Structure 1
């Protein structure tokens, strides 16, 4: 049994973390295989959206602690450099939308990996926790960067220090995710979102994603320049021309991602 299930259907890459007996906690094999699959998604022009979820009752419980029983700082640093940092970087740099379909617990690195996705949706029974402080660690996977920007400094600080469990509905109200769905409708509704994104002008979506990446550190003046650059590129795409033409002809546009 592979630790990452991978299937491409209707231009959507379905990536499933597949260690359900460990609540999809990461070992090195799973982390490296996920990186490989993300690279494939980036390179394959036939893939127009990525759908990331977990098998069984969890999305991801973070790191499998059986791999880090030694208290050697270099081991943990190596894991960050070689496993986790590349994963969240690939998600944020992916020139295609990434849907984080949170089907259960998202803890530690799993929680912050979820937050790095472009559209985060969750089942009502799922929850998030910044579990790092419980074992004397610091949030990673970009959590200290992303979470305060989503929910504010004070809430992020409290969640990271107290390691509280936050339900999906609470997370939605805080601004950590886009929407929650009942457990019964979650799969259908989350796949609908991926299908919609896959049919949109994905070059434009990629530029929106990159513009948002720039926005977190830019001044307002700098961001206006970023928008100017990306808008010029967007105007030159086939999909922009198709979108305008379809609008004028009062028909549904057929986007190609070009």
Structure 2
């Protein structure tokens, strides 16, 4: 083998080896979030929430809790460490809400997201996505910095189930997918780990929608510095044909 061919073969081997070591989230090639497809829910003053429609988000809207990078399209959500409990919520959250509500028996539904956890709150727990209903969350993904894992919490009336859904990469990147099917199947994929669950009975009669979230969990001492921040580099909601 000539020297030039040997060098080419060596370079190719090194390139393939290098790619094998890159986390899946780092190789994510999905398109950036389309802000116009969502409604923003963010804190306003001390006892209110502000709803910002997608038409406003698409024009370059920004606030202390929401920003979209004009170069990359990535969306950053930040919580308010001083925000009190509102409408039964136990901790502050900033939310991108899907524009369409649906019944799980009528349509397949998928949400795919890739994100980076920029700032952990004091308890090292951040809600990063969920299926929501008028009565509260049905399914929630919670990132846990202490254990470097993502937990899926299924709410079924007065009871809850917690299942470890996947690990968090050392670079704090997470890619996830939540899928619902009319037969009652829920599939959650977190950084390549797949969990198959059943739609909880409490959610079978409720209209629901997806939410991308930067949210804190449980009671916390109000403090300017106790906040969570998450940057979504890709975000997509689809309702494919059955």
When normalised by structure 1's length, the TM-score is 0.27
When normalised by structure 2's length, the TM-score is 0.28
Q: Which has the higher helix share?
A: 1
Q: Which has the higher strand share?
A: 2
Q: Give the structure, 1 or 2, with the largest relative contact order (CA under 8 Å, sep 6 or more).
A: 2
